[in-house]
Amino acid sequence: MTRVALIAHDDEKPEMIDLVRTYESLLSEFDLVGTGTTGQRISDETDLEIERKQSGPLGGDMQIGGEVAQDEIDAVVFLRDPHTAQPHEPDITALLRICDVHDVPLATTRTSAEYVLDGVAADSADD
């Protein structure tokens, strides 16, 4: 089954929830994983099941990076705040690198996330 990781900086969590609600039907066909707080918000505010890793400050993004390295993640949506990200929030640099090394798409904006989700859906339909 297609596995998609969902991560969002604090100021981007409302945008993530809106994205997930918009794509809820599609995302229900995927195995979802997220960092702690983002995953909890998705679970609380939608009907989707999501495996929660540690929160960002405790290394949840690194846990997801480990799954990317093990070829267990097909795509990552990391809605980040480029202006006011807080020191306790996950840093995208290591996750971006591991996604590049393993050729796993990583979206950082709403628009790129929509393209990635549509593309992953098309790929999974071809399988």
Q: Which residue in the list 10, 11, 61, 126 is annotated as catalytic? A: 61
Active site annotation includes 127: no
Side-chain half-sphere exposure of 55, counting CA atoms within 13 A = 8
How many C-beta atoms surround the C-beta of residue 47 within 10 A? 8
SS3 70: coil
**DSSP characters over 20-59:** HHHTHHHHTTSEEEE-HHHHHHHHHHSS---EE---GGGT
Q: How far apart, in whole angstroms, are the C-alpha atoms of residue 52 and residue 38?
A: 8
Q: Which residues are catalytic?
A: 61
